[in-house]
Amino acid sequence: MNTERSLKLYNSLSGKKEIFKPLHEGHVGMYVCGPTVYYDVHLGNCRTFVSFDIMYRYLLHLGYRVRYVRNITDVGHLTDDGEDRMAKGARVAQLEPMEVAQKYTVGFHDMMRAFNTLPPSIEPRATGHIPEQIEMVQDIMARGYGYERNGSVYFNVRKFDQENPGVYGHLSGRVLDELLVESRDNLKSQDEKDDPADFAIWMKARPGDIMVWKSPWSVGFPGWHLECSAMSTKYLGQTFDIHGGGNDLKFPHHENEIAQNHGACGCAPAKFWLHTNMLLLEGKKMSKSEGNFITPVQMFTGDSPFISKAYTPMMLRFYMLQAHYGSQLDITDEALLAAEKGYRKLMETNKVLQGLPADATAYDGSESEHDRAILALIEDAYAGMDDDFNTAVALACLNELGSYAHKLANKQLDASAVSPWVLERLKTVFNTFIFDIFGLQDESDAAGDEGTVDGLMALILDIRANARTQKDWGTSDKIRDGLAAAGIAVKDGKEGTSWAKN
Ligand code: AMP
Ligand code: ZN
């Protein structure tokens, strides 16, 4: 529709807002680091994925064809004691690593659906791209930036830095000499590296490692950073438009990704690096490994000492929209209560607005003072989104626009004060922002539908129970089979009859 709007994005690489111009006109390639599936996603992860979902939605709204790649990390992400997180999760739960990955991938997808995020165009798994990662190690070695020690392969950071000055450390603002042992790779094999700043791109398996593959160097597994380099190259090309993730990934993950891509092909991977800021809980980063987190399910059920009541996915999504993705966002009960009110008000306002009588009069060229104010606010909402996806600004504009809807509805403002074509535009813009760009859903509608279904099911099961007491098996079976055909399973148990969608 409108790829001419000038989008400005804060590029972490330059530390500045820059005008966004895609490499191929009308197309955007965007890679976002996905979850490590060894545990349930926490709300902090959800904030990051919701933020990129809104960016994805806005780019689509502007008319770009977007290839959005978000990976699933199912191998190679080490804990501080050097153990693969997936394998550790599996060991703790006595499961196959792939069972762990599957379980939490499904859980992650459920959560993404609950938050109404659009699925990415491609969702590649690290374990499904081992040959590509091995090839990348070979490319890096061929260009002289990788060396083998006892079956593991390391990236030679110092050599890379000497030959490509200013690349390593640029994104995270780190000075090479200070980096040393900060990276999250295998501490036990530190001594075999030539330099502590080097990082593993292939690791030889140790006895007991269970997620292993054959490679030219050893039976082992890829370094964590490698998957994103290999998969972004495969699906988006050596150089693409946007790379995203939480800002906790800047170092070492993204820094090492850049080095690997450069090392393999001699060019920079992404033009724009976008980083979401952290969701905090009681002022501290929400983190799985630190144990300071709230799961979305705890939020939805209210089962957490941090909150006084349950909050729905859309209230949380609304809460996230109130802040720019680049600022920290602290979870507090008061703020969530306010977000709940704000979300309900926005949905109600939209209903009031959409219910205002439409006047079919065509645009007659006239503009009232209110028309101008409304059109200016609409432009401001767009300008907010153009300014590095500033949802907070856009939302504030919608709230102001909403006050016109209420004034018109309660006749504080005469209907003739706003031209019919402006009112139509306002209705469209409101719907577009709320549902298409912000990705909110009206939960009052959903609750209404669900309530109706529950009521109907209770009635049907009651009829079936009566038929059964009268030994009318024909009717009882007919109801059960009919429901099965409609995708609803009926289960008779000691506690009575229950139903579930298949
Ligand atoms: P992980 O599964 O830990 O690799 O994280 C998945 C994504 O969530 C990454 O982009 C992280 O940067 C992001 N993330 C992790 N913790 C938080 C947090 N507290 N707030 C926002 N994003 C986070
Ligand atoms: Zn990544």
Taking 50 as the pLDDT cut, the residues of the chain under it are 181, 183-188
Q: How far is the C-alpha of 168 from the C-alpha of 15, rounded, in Å?
A: 15
Can you tell me which atom of ligand 1 is nearest the CA of 45? 8
Q: Hey, which of 37, 48, 225 would you mutate to test ligand 1's pocket, going by the most ligand atoms within 8 Å of its Cβ?
A: 48
In this prediction, residue 186 carries a pLDDT of 46
- Residue pLDDT, tens place only, 284-343: 998 877 888 888 988 999 988 889 999 999 999 999 999 999 999 999 999 999 999 999
Can you tell me which atom of ligand 1 is nearest the CA of 280? 19
Residue 190 C-alpha to ligand 2 middle, in angstroms? Answer: 22
In this prediction, residue 359 carries a pLDDT of 66
CB of residue 44 inside a 6 A radius of ligand 1? yes
Residues with CB under 5 A from ligand 2 (ion): 33, 228
Sign of the C-alpha dihedral computed for residues 420, 425, 428 and 429 taken in this order: negative
Residues in contact with 169: Cβ distance below 8 Å, sequence separation at least 6, in sequence order: 161, 175, 176, 179, 255
CB of residue 249 inside a 6 A radius of ligand 1? yes
- Name the residue with tokens 């990415």: 120
What is the number of other CB atoms lying within 10 angstroms of the CB of residue 500?
A: 9
The model's pTM is 0.86
Instruction: For residue 146, give both structure tokens.
Output: 């990788």
Q: How far is the C-alpha of 135 from the C-alpha of 133, rounded, in Å?
A: 5
Contact 12, 171 (CB under 8 A): yes
Surface-to-core class of residue 209, CB atoms within 10 Å of its CB (0-12 exposed, 13-18 middle, 19+ buried): middle
Residue 227 C-alpha to ligand 2 middle, in angstroms? Answer: 7
Residues in contact with 469: Cβ distance below 8 Å, sequence separation at least 6, in sequence order: none
Surface-to-core class of residue 275, CB atoms within 10 Å of its CB (0-12 exposed, 13-18 middle, 19+ buried): buried
Dump strand ranges (E) for 71-145: none
- Name the residue with tokens 């490590």: 36
- Residue pLDDT, tens place only, 105-149: 999 999 999 999 999 999 999 999 999 999 999 999 999 999 999
Give the residue whose CA is nearest to atom 15 of ligand 1: 45
Q: How far is the C-alpha of 64 from the C-alpha of 66, rounded, in Å?
A: 6
Q: What are the backbone dihedrals phi and psi of residue 169, each rounded to the nearest 5 degrees, phi first?
A: 95, -10
